[in-house]
Amino acid sequence: MKIYFFVYFLASWACFLWGQAPAKKLLTQNDYLQFTEMSTPILSPNGKWSSFKLFSQETVDTVKVVATDGSKVYAFPESYGTNFSNNAQWFAFKNQQKGFGLLNLNTGKLKYNLDGTSYKFSEDGNLLGLKTTGHHGNSPKGLLLYNLSKNDSLFLEGVSAYNFSPNSKYLLYIASRNEDVSVNLLNLSDGSSIVLNERAESYSKLLWSDSGEQFFFVQNDSILYYGNAQYPTKLISQSLKAPLFKNMHIGFLAPFFSKDGRRVFFYMHRKIIPVNANDTLPSVQTWKGSDKWVYPRKIIESTPENWQMLCSWNPIKRKLQQIASPEKPQIVLTSNQKYALRFNIMDYEPLYLQHPKVDIYLLNLESGEEKLLIAKQQTGGGYIQLSPSGNNIAYFNGNDWINYSISKQQFTNLTKRFTTVLYKEKHDRPEPLIPYGMVGWTQDDTGVLIYDAYDIWHISINGKSYKRLTRGRETKTVYRLPTNLLKGYPPIRTPEFYSYEIDLSKELIMSIKGTDKSSGYAVLSPNGMIKNFGIFASKSHGLQKAKDGKAYVFITESPNTPPQLYYIKDSEKSTKLIYQSNPQYKNFVNGKRELITYKAGVWKNLNGILYYPDNYQPDRKYPMIVKIYEVQSHNFYNYCFPSLYTRDGYNPESLTAEGYFVFEPDIKYRIGNPGISAVECVTAAVNKVLSLNVVDKDRVGLLGHSYGGYETAFIVGQTNIFKAAVAGAPVTNMLSYYLSINSDDGLPQIWRMEHQQWRMGKSYFDDPEAYRQNSPIEHIKNINTPLMIWEGDQDRNIHWFQSVEMYLALRRLNKVVTFYVYPGEAHDIDISENQRDLSQKIIEWFDTYLK
C-alpha cells in the first residue's frame, strides 16, 4: 500500500508542476541577442499587407511582410529598401546577398535578380524599372523593364537615369552607347521609342509634369528642354547663356513643374572660380565684428550670392525669370505658383537665436510687383502657413494668428476673440513665443484649424466664428492630427511652411495623449462625435493609412510588452493584433516600473520613471542609478529593449538586469539658473525615492550625457548624495563654451547659452555672476564624487576640450576621475564596438562604487 501511495503522490505532484507556466529567467547579456527593434510600418495601398523591419546590432536585419488578415507572414533577412506597388500586387526590396527581390503578393512567388540595384514602380504598378550593374554573368549594364501585368520584359542597354511618367504611359531615359549619350522617350503602350536628343556630353534632371504629358531635361548644365509627350519631336530649348545668368550654371537641386505644366522651376548657382594653382600662399581669413555671420559659418553655408537661386522658365512664352536674388535668396511659392514669398535669413543677424527674424516680401510672378508683407517675422516650424489654394497666408505674430488674403489685400486677426492661450506659456526657455500650431486649412480656404494646449479649433477665415472640435481641456487630454494622413502642399525646401488641406465632411483620425503618459488614436466624425480606437495602457505610434481605403496599422508598446502591430479595417470596428515582436519576452523577468510624483521648490507634480531591478525582492535594499536629461517621463510607456549598443552607453534594462534601480526624473528650470534648477529637482526626486525605503541611500549614482552631462558635472559639485557619477560629453566651463563655435554648423554657441537649453536669458557680459554660479568648473573644489567622463575626440558640438578642462581640474585637485576618449567618435558613439565598450565601462564604474 505504501508503494502505491508513493507512486500516486509522485504522479499527482508531477502533473501539478507540468500544468504550471515555466519559471521566467533573469536576463543576461547573452540573452540581449534575441531582441530586435521594430521600424515604423508601411501599408499596401489596398490595406491587405504591411511591412516593417526588425533590427539589432548583433543580428541581421530582417524585413517582414504580414498579411493584415493574419493568414501569411514572409521574412527576408539582410534586406532593406522596401516598397509596395500602387496596385498592391507586388512587394520589392533589396537583399545584401541576392540583389533585388520581387514578391508576388497574390501567388507568393518570389524571384531575385543578383545584378539588380535601384528600382522604381510605375504609378499604376504594372511596370518595374530595375537598374543592372553588369557585374554578374554576361548581363550588360542598363535598365531591365518588367511588364508585370504581362509577365515579359525589355532590356535597355546603357541606361544611366530614367523616370516613369505619372500617368504610366511613357518612360523618359538617358542611355549611353559607345561615345554617344542620348535622351529617349519610350511609349509604354506600344513599345515604340524615339531619340529626343543625342551626342551631348551629358544630360540630367529628367522631369515630368503632374499630368504626365509634359517633360523636361537639361543638356550639359546649360540648355533646358521642354516637350510634350504627344508631340515629342517638337522640343523647345532654351540656352542658359543669357546675360541674366552670367557666370552661373544650373544648380544641383531638383527642378519641378508648375501645377498646370506650363512652367518649370529650376535652380541656378554661381560658378566658383578655381584658385590659381600657382598661388602657394594661403589666404588670410578675415573675421570682422560687423559680419552678419562668423567666418566658419560663412565657409560652411557660404553667402547669399553663392546660394541656389530659384528661377522659372515659361517655354511657350520663351520667358526666363530669376525669382531669387542675393538680396532675397529664400523663396516660398504659393501653391498656385502665382506669387512668391521672398526673404533673407541674414536680415537681422546676429540675433543669437536658433531661427532668425526676417522681413517677408510678396512678389507677383506675373507682373513683377513686390511689396513688404510682414516685418520682423519670427521663422521656424509652425509660424507661417500658405493655404493649399494659394490665396491666403497665415502667420503667428507672437500672440495671435493673422491671415492675409492675397486677392483682397486684407489682413484679418483670426483669433482676437480667443481667450484661450495659443502659445506655449509654460515653455521654460527664453525663446520667442512658440505657437501650439496651425495644422491646416479647410476646403476652399473657408477656415483654418489651430491647436491650443489640448484641443483642435476650427476658425472661419473671417475670424468671426470658431468652434472647439475636441474636449481635451477638461481631462487634460491632448488631441492632434497626424499630418502624414493629410493631403499637404510641400513648398520646395521650406518644410516650416508646409500646409495641409482638411476636409471636415470626412472623418479625421486624431492622436491622443493622456495625463498618465499613455497615447492612442481616435476618429472625429463629421457630426462631431469622437470614438477612440487603439487606446491601451501603452504608447501608440507609427500610424499608417491605406491609400485606397479605410484601413490602418499602428504600433503599440508598453513597459511589459514589446512593440505589437495592430490593424483596423474601419475606424468604427475593433482593432486586431497582427504581429507580436520578440515573443520570447515572455520567457524573461521584466522588472516593474512606476511613475513617481514629487515636488521641488516652485514646481508641483513633477514626474519620474522608477525602474525596479529585475531580481527585486521586497526585503532587500538596492543601489540606484539616476539618469538625467530635462523631461523624461513621457517615455514611461516605452518598451525598453535590452542592449549594450546605445549611442550614450545608457540602457535602463541593461542596468536593471544588473540589479540596479534606475530613476529618470523630470527637471524644470528657472531662467538664468539651469544648473541650480537641476540640483533642486534632482535632489528632491532622489529624496522622494529614498522615502520609499527600497533604495540604499549610500549607493546612489548619477548619469547624464550632453546636456545631462552638464547637469551631472554641476550637481556633483553641489551635493554629496551621489557615490559615483558618469558625465558624457559635458559642458563644464560656461564661459569657454559660450565663446566657442559649433564646427558642424559654424554657429557660435552663444545662442544655446542665452536662449536654448542653458536658458541663461542674457549674455555673459550682462550677468557674469549667473554664468559662474551655474558653471561646473567653478565648483570643482566641492566635488567628492568619483567621476567618470567620456567623450569622442571628433565632437564638433560640445568640443571635447570641455571634458579636458574638467579632467585637468580634478586631476590637479587629486580628485577621483577617469576620462575615456574615443578616437574618431563625435558627440555620440556610433561605432558598435565602442558602444559596447562604453556600456560595459559604465556598468563597471557603478559596480565598483555602488556594489
For the cut 50, the answer to whether the pLDDT of residue 13 exceeds it is no
Provide the pLDDT for residue 58.
83
Q: How confident is the model at residue 25 (pLDDT cuts 50, 70, 90)?
A: very high
pLDDT average, residue stretch 302-319? 94
Which of residues 816 and 133 earns the better pLDDT score?
A: 816
φ and ψ of 482, to 5 deg: -65, 110
φ and ψ of 802, to 5 deg: -60, -40
> Which domains are present in the chain?
589-850 (3.40.50.1820)
Q: What is the DSSP letter of 382?
A: T
Write down the mean pLDDT value for the chain.
92
> In terms of DSSP bridges, do strands 817-822 and 787-792 run parallel, antiparallel, or are they unpaired?
parallel
Rg (CA), the chain: 31
- Which residue, among 49, 41, 39, 102, has the nearest Cα to 549 in the 3D structure? 49
pLDDT average, residue stretch 413-432? 92
What does the pLDDT look like over 180-204, one tens digit per residue? Answer: 899 999 999 999 999 999 988 899 9
Q: What is the DSSP letter of 549?
A: S
Q: Give the 3-state secondary structure percentages of the chain, helix then strand then coil, rounded to 5.
A: 15, 40, 45
pLDDT average, residue stretch 433-450? 94
What single letter denotes the amino acid at residue 786? P
What single letter denotes the amino acid at residue 84? F
Provide the pLDDT for residue 724.
98
For the beta carbon of residue 517, count every other beta carbon within 10 angstroms.
18
**176 neighbors 158 (Cβ within 8 angstroms):** yes
Q: How confident is the model at residue 488 (pLDDT cuts 50, 70, 90)?
A: confident
> Angle at Cα 709 formed by Cα 707 and Cα 711, nearest 5°?
75
What is the distance between the alpha carbons of residues 462 and 722, in angstroms, rounded to a whole number? 59
Provide the pLDDT for residue 140.
81
Per-residue DSSP letters for 171-205? EEEEEEETTEEEEEEEETTT--EEEEEES-S-EEE
What is the distance between the alpha carbons of residues 414 and 461, in angstroms, rounded to a whole number? 7
What does the pLDDT look like over 36-59, one tens digit per residue? Answer: 999 999 999 999 999 999 999 888
Provide the pLDDT for residue 271.
81
Provide the pLDDT for residue 572.
65
For the cut 60, the answer to whether the pLDDT of residue 1 exceeds it is no
Q: How confident is the model at residue 495 (pLDDT cuts 50, 70, 90)?
A: low
Q: How confident is the model at residue 274 (pLDDT cuts 50, 70, 90)?
A: low
Identify the sign of the CA torsion 690, 693, 694, 697: positive
For the cut 50, the answer to whether the pLDDT of residue 87 exceeds it is yes
Provide the whole-model pTM: 0.93
What single letter denotes the amino acid at residue 262? R
Query: Which of 13-27, 83-97, 130-144, 595-609 shows the lowest per-residue confidence on average (mean pLDDT)?
Result: 13-27
> 3-class DSSP state for residue 373?
strand
What does the pLDDT look like over 523-576, one tens digit per residue? Answer: 999 999 999 887 778 999 999 999 988 899 999 999 999 999 999 987 667 889
**725 neighbors 787 (Cβ within 8 angstroms):** yes
Q: How confident is the model at residue 242 (pLDDT cuts 50, 70, 90)?
A: confident
Per-residue DSSP letters for 489-521? E--TT-GGG-EEEE-TTS-EEEEEE-TTS-EEE
φ and ψ of 667, to 5 deg: -125, 130
Cell numbers for 580:
507580436
Share of the chain above pLDDT 90, in %: 85
Partners of 77 in the beta sheet?
62
Q: How confident is the model at residue 364 (pLDDT cuts 50, 70, 90)?
A: very high
What is the distance between the alpha carbons of residues 348 and 334, in angstroms, rounded to a whole number? 25
Query: Exposure of 565 by Cβ count < 10 A (0-12 exposed, 13-18 middle, 19+ buried)?
Result: buried
For the cut 80, the answer to whether the pLDDT of residue 699 exceeds it is yes
Q: What is the DSSP letter of 9?
A: H
Provide the pLDDT for residue 574.
82
**831 neighbors 825 (Cβ within 8 angstroms):** yes
Buried-state track 372-388, b at ≥16 Cβ within 10 A, e below 16: ebbeebbbbebbbbbbb
What does the pLDDT look like over 406-415, one tens digit per residue? Answer: 999 999 999 9
Provide the pLDDT for residue 57.
82
Share of the chain above pLDDT 70, in %: 95
What does the pLDDT look like over 736-780, one tens digit per residue? Answer: 999 999 999 999 999 999 999 999 999 999 999 999 999 999 999
Per-residue DSSP letters for 763-812? -TTT-HHHHHHT-GGGGGGG--S-EEEEEETT-TTTTTHHHHHHHHHHHH
For the cut 50, the answer to whether the pLDDT of residue 8 exceeds it is no
Q: What is the DSSP letter of 29?
A: G
**737 neighbors 802 (Cβ within 8 angstroms):** yes
Provide the pLDDT for residue 106.
96
Provide the pLDDT for residue 241.
87
> 3-class DSSP state for residue 399?
coil
Q: Which helix (H) or strand (E) holds 31?
A: none
Q: Which helix (H) or strand (E) holds 741?
A: none
Per-residue DSSP letters for 304-369? GGGSPEEEEEETTTTEEEE---SSS-EEEE-TTSSEEEEE-TTTT----SSS-EEEEEEEETTT--
Provide the pLDDT for residue 212.
96
- Which residue, among 332, 334, 355, has the nearest Cα to 343 in the 3D structure? 332
